[in-house]
């Protein structure tokens, strides 16, 4: 049977999935690693290893490495929330990674592209099969955030480039730098590129599916904190739908 690794940075991003895992057990890890936890069991008929990595690139990379070494998943899905960069995105929409990169890496002095880590590809590409699966599953879901938002919203999906860096982007010069350097980027977060980087090193197919919790290029009366829980529910629902699809088609 296949095994899927699922990664969320914060407790809010894993709590809904963890509650649904049958025979959930904590994966023993060597040493004391604060903030990193792995839960194993069965979810929607699929063996899963759910990682709470902690926030930021280093935590995400360390957690993903532990996940791949200790649980050896066949696929990795990164879930949670992200900040929207595209003007076509609204709070509640789902972003699916076509590829991921670091927006805060610059070794262009040595001939690399902006955002490209030395010795690595310019961008870490998500698995095409997982991308199509996420898009198909999302079409079948009827996600709604009407109950938690002052105005009715009809979540839609956008697939494209997701940028990551060790900063919460909410406007100003950091946002302008990202939009200028990577105008095609659709969303920004703090972990996806590090997860994609490690998966690339291990040769493990991955995809990022996140719900937009705030839109960096728009003014909004809704804050990141206000929408985080709902964003987690949205992205978790999509992950579960993908697991059902995997259990039916790939086992």
Q: Which residues of 20-58 are buried (b: 16+ CB within 10 A; e: fewer)?
A: bbeebeeeeeeeeeeebbbbbbbbbebbbbbbbbbebbe
User: What is the spatial distance between Cα 80 and Cα 33, in angstroms, rounded to a whole number?
Assistant: 21
Coil, helix or strand at residue 135: helix
* Cβ(185)–Cβ(161) below 8 Å: yes
Query: Do β-strands 3-8 and 46-52 pair in parallel, antiparallel, or remain unpaired?
Result: parallel
For residue 48, give both structure tokens.
Answer: 């899963």
- Binding-site residue numbers for substrate are 83, 169, 190-191
For residue 86, give both structure tokens.
Answer: 């595209």
Q: Catalytic residue numbers?
A: 13, 214
- Binding-site residue numbers are 83, 169, 190-191
């Amino acid at each position: 049977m296949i095994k899927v690794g699922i990664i969320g940075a914060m407790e809010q991003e894993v709590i809904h999935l963890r509650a649904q895992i049958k025979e959930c057990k904590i994966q023993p890890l060597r040493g004391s690693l604060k903030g990193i936890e792995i839960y194993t069991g069965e979810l929607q008929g699929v063996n899963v290893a759910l990682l709470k990595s902690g926030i930021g690139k280093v935590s995400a990379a360390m957690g993903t490495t532990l996940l791949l070494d200790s649980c050896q998943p066949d696929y990795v899905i990164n879930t949670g929330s992200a900040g929207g960069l595209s003007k076509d995105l609204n709070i509640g929409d789902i972003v699916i990674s076509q590829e991921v990169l670091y927006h805060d890496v610059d070794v262009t002095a040595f001939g690399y592209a902006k955002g490209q880590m030395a010795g690595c590809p310019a961008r870490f590409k998500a698995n095409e099969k997982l991308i199509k699966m996420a898009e198909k599953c999302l079409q079948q879901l009827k996600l709604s955030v009407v109950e938690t938002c002052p105005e009715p919203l009809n979540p839609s999906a956008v697939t494209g480039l997701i940028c990551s860096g060790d900063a919460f982007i909410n406007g100003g010069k950091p946002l302008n730098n990202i939009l200028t350097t990577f105008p095609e980027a659709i969303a920004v977060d703090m972990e996806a590129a590090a997860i994609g980087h490690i998966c690339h090193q291990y040769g493990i197919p991955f995809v990022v599916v996140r719900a937009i919790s705030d839109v960096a290029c728009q003014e909004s009366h809704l804050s990141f904190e206000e929408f985080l829980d709902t964003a987690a529910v949205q992205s978790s629902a999509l992950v579960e739908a993908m697991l059902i699809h995997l259990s039916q088609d790939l086992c």
